[in-house]
Amino acid sequence: MNRDNRRIVRQLDRTPPAGRNGLHANNSPRIERNPRHRSIEMSLMLEELARDRMRQVQRDVEQARTARRHRRQRSAR
């Protein structure tokens, strides 16, 4: 076993056991233990966050636009 494998195994041995609420993040099935899979998961999460942020910005822009329109209509009356 080479050195980094040994380190990974030591890390996995140190992980806490599964709690009442299922698996801990670092005690998940072997797939998520694979750093590559974890990075894929991470990028997916970040993508989702970015998408949510964009949606929020879009919503804010729409609200500002409608508010401006309403203000203009109010002042025209």
DSSP characters over 8-66: HHHHHHHSPPPBTTB--GGGS-HHHHSHHHHHHHHHHHHHHHHHHHHHHHHHHHHHHHH
- Per-residue pLDDT band for 73 (boundaries 50, 70, 90) equals confident
Quote the pTM value.
Answer: 0.41
The average pLDDT across 58-67 equals 91
C-alpha–C-alpha distance, residues 76 and 68, integer Å: 12
Domain ranges within the chain, ordered by starting residue: 1-33
pLDDT digits (tens, 9 = 90+) for 3-60: 776 666 666 665 555 555 455 555 555 555 566 666 777 888 888 999 999 999 999 9
pLDDT score at 19: 53
8 A C-beta contact, residue 40 and residue 46: no
pLDDT score at 16: 55
C-alpha separations of 45 from 28, 32, 49, 70 in Å: 17, 14, 6, 37
